[in-house]
Amino acid sequence: MKTVEIRWHGRGGQGAKTAALLLADVAFKAGKYVQGFPEYGPERMGAPITAYNRISDNPITVHSNIYEPDFVVVVDEGLLDSIDVTMGLKPEGAVVVNTAKSASEIKEKLRGYEGRVYTVDARKISVSALGKYFPNSPMLAAIVAVSEVMDKDQFLNEMEASYKHKFSKKPEVIEGNMNALRMTLEEVQV
């Protein structure tokens, strides 16, 4: 696998940075070379944030932001009105947007981007699986499904191990997040 570069767009508090770091963690455990890092700006709740991943079968020697990503994840659909999320996105790449809208409805907001567009209703999934709105787990599963950076079963196994470590005293959180991941893998819309 060549190096796959992913750029995340979200707002502070939505979990985009956490999702990028989790993706790096599980890909590393799956034997990949990884980078996962945020771009820091004004760190306040609700402010636009950007995070990045590089995932490869070979050592990664580049240490910079990602300017021409293979994939873009948009955790907050509202950012489409103010940020050109597809800037530099490779035409053979794809964008994954958290929205209840269809891919064709979202494509209208992507400033002429001609590549693949996927949508997932992370709100519906997380509220159904967790009882609250936490978009990062569904968006994490969505980008794994779309980018194919790792096998889905291996991804689920590594995420379960990660959740069990992180939430050992809250088994309901583990179950809810795992349900959110599984639901997303089935529901990503093209």
Residue 34, pLDDT > 90, answer: yes
Instruction: Please report the pLDDT score of residue 187 as a whole number.
Output: 87
Convert the pLDDT of each residue in 134-182 to its tens digit. 999 999 999 999 999 999 999 999 999 999 988 888 888 889 999 999 9
Instruction: Please report the pLDDT score of residue 110 as a whole number.
Output: 94
Residue 42, pLDDT > 70, answer: no
- As a whole number, mean pLDDT of residues 23-50 equals 87
HSE of 75, CA atoms in CB hemisphere, 13 A? 31
Instruction: Please report the pLDDT score of residue 172 as a whole number.
Output: 83
Residue 77 pLDDT class (50, 70, 90 cuts):
very high
Instruction: Please report the pLDDT score of residue 190 as a whole number.
Output: 52
Residue 133 pLDDT class (50, 70, 90 cuts):
very high
Instruction: Please report the pLDDT score of residue 166 as a whole number.
Output: 84
Residue 36 pLDDT class (50, 70, 90 cuts):
very high
46: helix, coil or strand?
coil
- With CA atoms as reference, report the closest residue to 46 among 22, 23, 78, 86: 78
Instruction: Please report the pLDDT score of residue 88 as a whole number.
Output: 96
DSSP characters for 60-98? ----S--SS-SEEEES-GGGGGTS-TTTT--TTSEEEEE
- As a whole number, mean pLDDT of residues 102-123 equals 94
- The answer to whether 39 and 11 are in contact (CB under 8 A) is no
Residue 5, beta-bridge partner list: 54
Residue 32 to residue 81: CA distance in whole angstroms: 35
Whole-model pTM: value is: 0.93
DSSP E strands in the chain: the ranges are 4-11, 33-39, 48-56, 71-74, 94-98, 116-120
- As a whole number, mean pLDDT of residues 53-73 equals 96
Give how far Cα 26 sits from Cα of 2, 121, 179, Å.
18, 23, 17
Instruction: Please report the pLDDT score of residue 126 as a whole number.
Output: 94
Instruction: Please report the pLDDT score of residue 179 as a whole number.
Output: 94
- As a whole number, mean pLDDT of residues 26-48 equals 86
